[in-house]
Amino acid sequence: MGSGGDLRSGSGTDTYGGDVTEATRTADEAAGPSVDVAAVGAGIAANIGRVVQGKDDVVRLAMVVLLAEGHLLIEDVPGVGKTTLAKALAASVDATVRRIQFTPDLLPSDVTGVAVYDQESRAFEFKPGAVFANLVVADEINRASPKTQSALLECMEERQVTVDGVSYELARPFMVMATQNPLEMEGTYPLPEAQRDRFTARVSMGYPGREAELAMLDGRSTTDPLAALSPVADAAAVRDLVRAVGTLHVSDAVRRYVVGLVEASRRSPHLRLGASPRAGLQLLRAARASAALSGRDHVLPDDVQLLAAPVLAHRLLLTADAALGRRSPEQVVAELLSTVPVPRGR
């Protein structure tokens, strides 16, 4: 947490706690029966953990993005389990899943679909593409051309596909999990800022710990644990979780804290591009999901601080001087957390 993270009781007006209003209670009751987000989320995370061992923080972030109705960019060196994480999450939820191997010859119509002329009916019939699924695994997304990458822009933001002037709504939940290798850049196309900004969070897998790697060598020598993974929730259950997350109470102080972090990034001397308004929205949604997974009915500044780097860092562009000084976007986010005042409250 930042050094300004005083979470003790205070007499100031910037409180993150407080009572939920009667209007909020009425809205919660209208939303239907309550769902134990923490329990169901823990079950899905434990199921993923059977395959992705020793990476509890990474699995939790994937769950946060799922419940925030966002999209996840998994970026790391080859062989650390990027695609395995995406597949394990997809296998843990009984929903429609499509995997797209992004290659230089992949066409936008392969992703979104195409209108085909039917000789019998003498009319064009829409053939849905691979993006028409609840969970879409975009493997090595930076190997496809920018034209094909842009086919995901409308899908990820508006959750619909427009072909020949006709819009087709995508099913809920809808989540894109994209992987890319940041080292092997020859023959690849870096994601543009507009594409990166549509990903709720970016995560790096990192190397496993010694015990986790030993367990992996022992357990995967003859079998594939993904093949034995069974779903522990379905699409309807995930939709219920998402609705429950949306009812969590967020105080005005926490909202101002999120806006303060976003605004501070735009004034940072180390950045030539700060966080967008979409970044603030995604940070608040992710903080709601994190609070729900922790079993709380309200968001704390801790939730915002915990997710600030995964949600904001990949959206920021360093100045030339900051890049030459080997400063990372994560370091800039840490500086923002240490300078932006944290709200106090009960």
pLDDT tens digits, 3-14? 443 333 333 334
Residues 178-228 have pLDDT tens digits of 998 877 667 788 898 989 999 999 998 888 888 877 877 776 767 777 888
Is the predicted pLDDT of residue 21 greater than 70, yes or no? no
Looking at the structure, tell me whether residues 181 and 129 fall in a common domain.
yes
Looking at the structure, tell me whether residues 154 and 287 fall in a common domain.
no
Distance between CA atoms of residues 208 and 191, nearest Å: 27
Last residue of a domain, one of 201, 227, 246: 246
Looking at the structure, tell me whether residues 138 and 268 fall in a common domain.
no
CATH code where residue 186 lies: 3.40.50.300
Last residue of a domain, one of 212, 246, 280: 246
Lowest pLDDT segment from 66-70, 100-104, 169-173, 212-216: 212-216
| pLDDT score of 9 | 30
| pLDDT score of 346 | 54
Cα 313 to chain center, whole Å? 13
Last residue of a domain, one of 246, 261, 287: 246
Looking at the structure, tell me whether residues 208 and 320 fall in a common domain.
no
Looking at the structure, tell me whether residues 48 and 107 fall in a common domain.
yes
Mean pLDDT of all residues in 331-344: 93
Looking at the structure, tell me whether residues 313 and 213 fall in a common domain.
no
Is the predicted pLDDT of residue 328 greater than 50, yes or no? yes
Q: What is the count of structural domains for the chain?
A: 2
Note the pTM of the prediction, 2 decimals.
0.85
Distance between CA atoms of residues 215 and 49, nearest Å: 12
Is the predicted pLDDT of residue 86 greater than 90, yes or no? no
Is the predicted pLDDT of residue 16 greater than 70, yes or no? no
Looking at the structure, tell me whether residues 12 and 88 fall in a common domain.
no
List of residues 6+ apart from 257 with CB closer than 8 A: 16, 301, 304, 340, 342, 343
DSSP β-bridge partners for residue 72: 177, 201
Mean pLDDT of all residues in 224-246: 90
Range of 102's domain?
A: 36-246
Report the percentage of the chain scoring pLDDT > 70: 88
Distance between CA atoms of residues 214 and 220, nearest Å: 10
Looking at the structure, tell me whether residues 323 and 177 fall in a common domain.
no
CATH code where residue 332 lies: 1.10.8.80
Residues 274-320 have pLDDT tens digits of 999 999 999 999 999 999 999 999 999 999 999 999 999 999 999 99
Cα 266 to chain center, whole Å? 22
Helices and strands (H and E) in the chain: how many: 15, 13
Looking at the structure, tell me whether residues 260 and 178 fall in a common domain.
no
Looking at the structure, tell me whether residues 173 and 214 fall in a common domain.
yes
Looking at the structure, tell me whether residues 241 and 282 fall in a common domain.
no
Looking at the structure, tell me whether residues 22 and 158 fall in a common domain.
no
